Amino acid sequence: METILLVEDSKFLRAATEHILTKAGYRVVCASDGDEALKLVGSSLPQLILLDMLLPKLSGPEVLRSLKKNDLTAHIPVVVLSSLSQNNGPKLMQEGADAFIEKGLLLENPGRLLETITAALS
């Protein structure tokens, strides 16, 4: 069973996304801020990280940069979750993100989230 680290500060979105992922057969580890995410990634070594951009303590872009600079975590695919527009996608991809999903689409179209995860894992 593949493990996904879900980094999201919204309790509602975190619970809803965790439900979608566990129903699809993934093991989900959750973090509610960037600092907690970096601590958890070392102990859980997930196969994929779903990363919100607007986080308390340490922002999503800071977490992404830290992950990609660390030899132990640089290989882990990161799918960015953001309520910001798709215009930020190219910049985030340059910084090491593997894919970008707008938060509004998460609950509207859970299949798209699962397709993106499957593609990032392969």
Phi–psi pair at 121, nearest 5 degrees: -80, -20
Burial state string for 88-109 with b = 16 or more CB within 10 A and e = fewer than 16: bbeebeeebbbbbbbbeebeee
CB-CB contact of 53 with 62 (8 Å): no
pLDDT, tens digit (0-9, with 9 covering 90-100), for 20-70? 999 999 999 999 999 999 999 988 889 999 999 889 999 999 999 999 999
pLDDT, tens digit (0-9, with 9 covering 90-100), for 70-121? 999 999 999 998 776 556 666 777 778 999 888 877 788 889 999 999 999 9
Cβ contacts of 107 within 8 Å, gap of 6 or more = 13, 16
Q: Is the pTM of this model over 0.85?
A: yes
